[in-house]
Chains A and B, each alone.
With several copies, the nearest count.
Chain A
Amino acid sequence: MLDTLKQPKRGVVSPVSREQYVDAFNWMLLARTVEEKLASLWRAGKISGGVYLGKGQEAISAALGIMLKSGDIFGPLIRDQAGRLAFGESLIDVFRVHFGSRTSLSRGRDGNVHRGNPRGGYHAMISHLGSLISVVAGALVARRFQGDTTAIGATTIGDGGTSTGAFHEAINMAAVEKLPLVVVVVNNQYAYSTPNSRQFACSDLVERATGYGVEGHSLDGTDLQECLEVLGQATQRARSGHGPQMVVGDCLRLTGHGEHDDASYMDKTLSQTRLGRDCLKIAENYLQERHWADHVLLEDWRKNAKEQVENAVADAQHEPLADPAMETWCPYATKRIASAVLVR
């Protein structure tokens, strides 16, 4: 279903155009609206399982999403609602999966952030951090075999996820294969409750790029303009044969690890720094300063986002939930094997 969702017109524009900025901004806004709804549904006990939000990371995620074109590959992580939408996820899929609807991408078998449509280039993460990067790299290996010379792949990982062996193996392998892979490290200062100081000892994670022989980029994740510029460049470099790109974006997680978490462990002074700025507010100001949007237009966009979200929620809530009676309870794709197993 995603196959048709990417508009091929998108791509790198440098310097950032109004069109692109507005586009990204609206995905950010929509993501924020979606997530506020998810949070309130969760508080109301309408969602089983956890809810994990990307508040404060929408600029990076949306900017990455809009740099990807039809045919590209995207492996989003937990805080990538904006990127998912920009890459083409339909709103109803977001809510279906959180409700555990039978019609959801995982048919109630998995929830929240684990959704995807891998054949459409939209990968479905498992929980084990770091393990998606090599999968996206492998998809690019396949594309190379198939003679696709234009597609790129992108995936994100948190500051905490960089400590996994899987992260290391995947980037190193992608570098050896010189794959058109963009790895975006979103340093939101915490991995659950664990601050950077307990996670790594280098002064900036971008310093790892040289050690892998890949190109490194840094960006301020609170500034959409910079996100667009840098991610535009990084995706462009990947697309034009310069191998893997490591982009490190700094920001602050403006929410708990999940909605169950009050984040009381966070260093309160961080929110007073540049990192603690709300990228959505910054982007609104920027739009107004540039006269790319005024109050009225912004309000219009907000209303529009809300409406879309309310409609999607209403639709999703009407859908049938997962039903054990309709489960096959069979994990095999091969018909013969499946029937051998089910006979017993």
Chain B
Amino acid sequence: MTITYLEAIREAQEKALRDDERVYIYGQDIGTLGGAFKATKNLAKEFPGRVLDAPISEDAMVGSAIGAAIEGMRPIIEMQFADFSMVAINQIVNQAATLYWRTQVACPITIRLPSGGNPGSGPFHSQCLESLYSHFPGLVVMTPATVEDAYTMLLEAVEIDDPVIFCEHKYLYNRLKCEVLPETGLPCDTARIARFGRDVTIVAYSAMVHEALAAADQLHKEDIEVEVVDLRCVKPFDLKTVLSSVARTARLLCVGESWPWGGVNSEVIASVVTHGFHLLDAPPQRINSKDTPVPFHPSLWGVHKPSSQVIAAAVRRLCDW
């Protein structure tokens, strides 16, 4: 029996609901329908009254989760698409993210953002907002790249006492599978070496880990050994693991699907060069989506976001430095 990335998210929520009575889920169409992507399939039936359909009021959805968290609950909010979280951002970054700092009362809410592009989704159903939320103090921003991480990190997100932005990638929902869900995983603030290599370090997260791995497979045939670091969590992120990988390879390429200006890539590069400048034999490089909205047409979309081909080409250039 195999389990998809999407099913792992459902399983994690089921387990959280089962194990912890403080957990409930709130979001549009998550009850009878089981969510636009079916991430809460049957949960409303299994846990009556704890998986609730919300009106189209993202601000109030998040605000109410904050209030419930103050009273000791551990709400999970499903945004129908990451993009719609923009109308709740004030509650997220100004109310939830500052609550502990202002009042010493923790705000353990998890906000699930179905993120990233898919062919034909267009500019308002494709956004990657991890870079946006990471800018704000007080949020933990998770970006799982594997089925296992989708499962254990979501459980961790619910456990953590801070507001977590859980960026689950829609492209991976049904494309990634694993055999069996793990009991435990790495803590979110630890990156994972997804592939070992000696020549170049690629730092990636979420769906881009798989593009990086595909590029690494290709480059292996060309005798270039790429090390792929999966950040797993982008705020905070595990600089130590990144630096020690760069210490081995002396070359860094960052790959992320969000927009270039001030994104994860620029933060990783800035952190690496301020703390590990001497480790680098070549200028660090980055590949992002293009700096335009995400296009609708699949042929435009395919070029807008980073692909394994573009990554491989960048690695080759880095090796020739």
**Which of B53, B81, B119, B239 has most chain A Cβ within 10 Å?**
B53
A residues in contact with B244, CB < 8 Å: none
A residues in contact with B107, CB < 8 Å: 333
Chain A 177-202 residues near chain B, CB threshold 8 A:
191-194, 198-200
- B32 and A333 contacting across the interface, CB-CB below 8 Å: no
Chain A 237-260 residues near chain B, CB threshold 8 A:
none
A residues in contact with B29, CB < 8 Å: 191-194
B68 within 8 A of partner (CB) = yes
Contact A192-B28, Cβ < 8 Å, known A173-B55, A321-B297, A322-B297: yes
| Residue of chain A at shortest CB distance from B33 | A193
A76 within 8 A of partner (CB) = no
CB distance from B80 to the nearest CB of A (A): 8
A269 within 8 A of partner (CB) = no
A341: which of B160, B291, B293 is its contact (CB, 8 Å)? B291
- B138 and A127 contacting across the interface, CB-CB below 8 Å: no
Chain B 214-249 residues near chain A, CB threshold 8 A:
236, 238-239
- B71 and A142 contacting across the interface, CB-CB below 8 Å: yes
A340 within 8 A of partner (CB) = yes
| Residue of chain B at shortest CB distance from A190 | B29
Interface string of B279-316 (1 = CB under 8 A from A): 00000000000111101111110111000000000000
Inter-chain CA distance A192–B99, complex, in Å, is 27
Contact A131-B103, Cβ < 8 Å, known A48-B297, A110-B123, A111-B120: no
| Residue of chain A at shortest CB distance from B66 | A135
| Residue of chain A at shortest CB distance from B121 | A49
- B68 and A118 contacting across the interface, CB-CB below 8 Å: no
CB distance from B305 to the nearest CB of A (A): 11
Interface string of A28-69 (1 = CB under 8 A from B): 000000000000000000011110000000000000000000
Interface string of A129-157 (1 = CB under 8 A from B): 11111111111111101100000000000
A residues in contact with B65, CB < 8 Å: 138
Inter-chain CA distance A199–B56, complex, in Å, is 8
| Residue of chain A at shortest CB distance from B139 | A331
- A329 and B290 contacting across the interface, CB-CB below 8 Å: yes
Contact A137-B63, Cβ < 8 Å, known A192-B29, A330-B292: yes
Inter-chain CA distance A34–B87, complex, in Å, is 33
- A324 and B303 contacting across the interface, CB-CB below 8 Å: yes
| Residue of chain B at shortest CB distance from A47 | B120
| Residue of chain A at shortest CB distance from B189 | A340
A336 within 8 A of partner (CB) = yes
Interface string of B165-194 (1 = CB under 8 A from A): 000000000000000000000010100000
Inter-chain CA distance A329–B302, complex, in Å, is 13
A336: which of B69, B94, B137, B187 is its contact (CB, 8 Å)? B187
- B102 and A124 contacting across the interface, CB-CB below 8 Å: yes
**Which of A124, A135, A137, A166 has most chain B Cβ within 10 Å?**
A135
CB distance from A206 to the nearest CB of B (A): 18
B161 within 8 A of partner (CB) = yes
Contact A194-B60, Cβ < 8 Å, known A48-B119, A128-B83, A134-B67: no
Inter-chain CA distance A214–B37, complex, in Å, is 33
B10 within 8 A of partner (CB) = no
B residues in contact with A329, CB < 8 Å: 290-292, 304
A117 within 8 A of partner (CB) = yes
| Residue of chain B at shortest CB distance from A135 | B67
B258 within 8 A of partner (CB) = no
Inter-chain CA distance A149–B296, complex, in Å, is 38
Which one, A100-108, A270-278, A287-295, is touching chain B?
A100-108
- A116 and B189 contacting across the interface, CB-CB below 8 Å: no
| Residue of chain A at shortest CB distance from B239 | A344
Inter-chain CA distance A322–B123, complex, in Å, is 15
A126 within 8 A of partner (CB) = yes
Chain B 56-113 residues near chain A, CB threshold 8 A:
56-73, 75, 81, 83-84, 86-87, 90-91, 94-95, 97-103, 105-108
B140 within 8 A of partner (CB) = yes
Inter-chain CA distance A130–B68, complex, in Å, is 17
A residues in contact with B105, CB < 8 Å: 118-119
Contact A138-B72, Cβ < 8 Å, known A322-B297, A324-B300: no
B residues in contact with A340, CB < 8 Å: 189, 236, 238
A334 within 8 A of partner (CB) = yes
CB distance from B100 to the nearest CB of A (A): 4
B97: which of A173, A265, A331, A336 is its contact (CB, 8 Å)? A331
Q: Contact residues of A with B, CB < 8 Å?
A: 47-50, 100, 105-106, 108-111, 114, 116-119, 123-124, 126-143, 145-146, 160-161, 163-166, 169-170, 172-173, 176, 191-194, 198-200, 265, 321-324, 327, 329-334, 336-337, 340-341, 344
Given contacts A145-B68, A164-B56, A191-B56, 13 further A-B contacts (CB under 8 A): A49-B119, A118-B105, A119-B70, A126-B102, A127-B125, A131-B91, A166-B87, A169-B59, A194-B55, A321-B297, A322-B299, A331-B138, A332-B138
20 residue pairs from A and B, CB less than 8 Å apart = A48-B296, A50-B120, A109-B101, A111-B296, A116-B103, A126-B102, A127-B124, A131-B94, A134-B63, A135-B95, A138-B69, A139-B68, A146-B71, A169-B58, A194-B28, A265-B33, A331-B100, A333-B106, A337-B236, A340-B238
Closest 10 CB pairs of A and B: A138-B67, A134-B63, A138-B64, A49-B120, A48-B120, A142-B71, A127-B124, A108-B297, A100-B297, A193-B33
